[in-house]
Amino acid sequence: MVILRSVIVFCVFLHLNVCIPLDEDTITLGTLPEGLINEIVSFVTTGFVEEFYDCLNNSIFKEDDVKLLLYTPENPEKGILLNKANPTSFNLERPVKILIHGWLGHNNNVRIQGLKRAYLETYNCSVIAVGWSKYSHDLYSSSFCYIPRIADTIARLLCRVREGTDYKLNRIHVVGHSLGGQMAGLIGQQVQNLCEQKLGRITALDPAGPLFSYLSNDRRLDPSDAKFVDVIHTNQEYLGFYGDCGTVDFYINCGTLQPGCLYKKVISIVDIMNLPLHYVLCNHFRSMDYMIESIYSRKFIATSCEGCPGERLTGLCGEDVVSPKYTIMGEHTPLKPSFKRYFVPTNSETPFALGRY
Ligand SMILES: *[C@@H]1O[C@H](CO)[C@@H](O)[C@H](O)[C@H]1NC(C)=O
Ligand SMILES: *[C@@H]1O[C@H](CO)[C@@H](O)[C@H](O)[C@H]1NC(C)=O
């Protein structure tokens, strides 16, 4: 059987202006520019060494490089490019899901498209995918610098959408992965500053950790950024943010390494060069796979985890065996959870949810 797969070619724009196709499912690490390889290898093997980073050259940002694509039940496949200056094309009657890809990501990557499909198959909603690959296909430390600018662009757009209407931004749910998770937090904060509205919900999928860990709450995702902030931790201390940053935090398999993904001890640097990017960054991307599955299923059962072992490299959160409380993780999590911190075990492959306590 021949499997036909549309090959979409994306580019990595580094300062050298080289253009290399980037698709997380096909590109191998070894074919990326050297600076990027070094960053990725450092993230997946040792975690990132925090240091102060100054975003000096952040002046070439162009709002036009941030694309918003609208998908609806009538128009599920090819996104309609929204005009940011005149956002009247928003259908305010439906609930809105805004999806934001992460570092090295793109609107058309399998997982963003998977989220979109899951939402349109589940709800009568509008999905808006934020495309910022002009800035995400770059060194992490460069992409990082654009996050506040892009967040501000989107926050101003959302405030403009509601001008002259009684539309409440609490009908909006933003789902962001990696740097997109941090961006979601900054959008939520900025709409409060600009038009005194609070987003309804932010779901951060392994929100980015490097360079954010020691920033104050107003420069990163925190529970005040929306009425409800749920966080799915899958690779904390490597690419993901270490520790609680939501109204409720889910630590999947303890939040650091995911079953079925490569563990750093079994890979050598030589070996990972030949692996596709989604393999190398598997722990970090898994948060999206779990979220997609959770839209269709209420079977990700989470157990409260107070008094966690807290041993850094083995994860922050273990199962609470003394007085466990249970909830559901993912899309259908109750917006008023009885606890703040949960542990979620999964299978090593799809379906990931175990569906039992
Ligand atoms: C930042 O700008 C300065 C001055 O234009 C330049 O010398 C330097 O190489 C730039 N750095 C980066 C990372 O682009
Ligand atoms: C979806 O919602 C829109 C706006 O509220 C409504 O006009 C439409 O009839 C709904 N479609 C279905 C299939 O319920």
Average pLDDT value for residue range 191-206: 97
On whether the CB atoms of residues 81 and 68 are closer than 8 A, the answer is yes
Residue 199 lies in a domain: yes
Average pLDDT value for residue range 263-279: 71
Please report the beta strands in the chain, taking only residues with DSSP state E, as ranges in sequence order. Answer: 67-72, 75-81, 96-100, 126-131, 172-177, 199-205, 226-233, 248-252, 301-304, 326-328, 341-344
Which of 117-121, 203-207, 236-240 is least confident? 236-240
Residue type, 100: I
Round the average pLDDT of the chain to a whole number and report it. Answer: 85
Residue type, 298: R
In this model, does residue 288 exceed pLDDT 90?
A: yes
| 93 ligand 2 Cβ < 6 A | yes
Calpha distance 288→222 (Å, rounded) = 20
Average pLDDT value for residue range 38-60: 74
Residue 198 lies in a domain: yes
Q: pLDDT tens, 295-305?
A: 999 999 999 88
Which of 31-40, 245-254, 277-286 reaches the highest mean pLDDT?
245-254
Calpha distance 78→90 (Å, rounded) = 16
| 94 ligand 2 Cβ < 6 A | yes
In this model, does residue 11 exceed pLDDT 90?
A: no
Average pLDDT value for residue range 123-148: 93
Residue 355 lies in a domain: no
Single pTM value for the model: 0.89
On whether the CB atoms of residues 207 and 236 are closer than 8 A, the answer is no
Residue nearest to atom 10 of ligand 1 (CA): 57
Calpha distance 160→301 (Å, rounded) = 39
Residue nearest to atom 9 of ligand 1 (CA): 57
In this model, does residue 214 exceed pLDDT 70?
A: yes
Q: So what's the pLDDT on residue 47? A: 64
Cis peptide before 351 (omega within 30 of 0): yes
Q: What is the CATH number of the domain that holds 89?
A: 3.40.50.1820
What single string gives the DSSP state of each residue in 177-223? ETHHHHHHHHHHHHHHHHHS--EEEEEEES-B-TTTTTS-GGGS--G
Calpha distance 339→38 (Å, rounded) = 39
On whether the CB atoms of residues 314 and 223 are closer than 8 A, the answer is no
For the chain, percent of residues with pLDDT exceeding 90: 55
Calpha distance 272→279 (Å, rounded) = 9
Which of the listed residues 93, 120, 126 should we mutate to test ligand 2's pocket, taking the one with most ligand atoms within 8 A of CB? 93
User: Does 218 or 89 have the greater pLDDT score?
Assistant: 218
Residue 170 lies in a domain: yes
Residue 356 lies in a domain: no
- The alpha carbon of 57 and the centre of ligand 1 are apart by a number of angstroms equal to 6
Structural domain of 217: 29-344
In this model, does residue 130 exceed pLDDT 80?
A: yes
DSSP 246: S
Residue 257 lies in a domain: yes
Residue 292 lies in a domain: yes
Residue 11 lies in a domain: no
In this model, does residue 195 exceed pLDDT 90?
A: yes
- The number of domains in the chain is 1
Q: Is 318 helix (H, G, I), strand (E, B) or coil?
A: coil
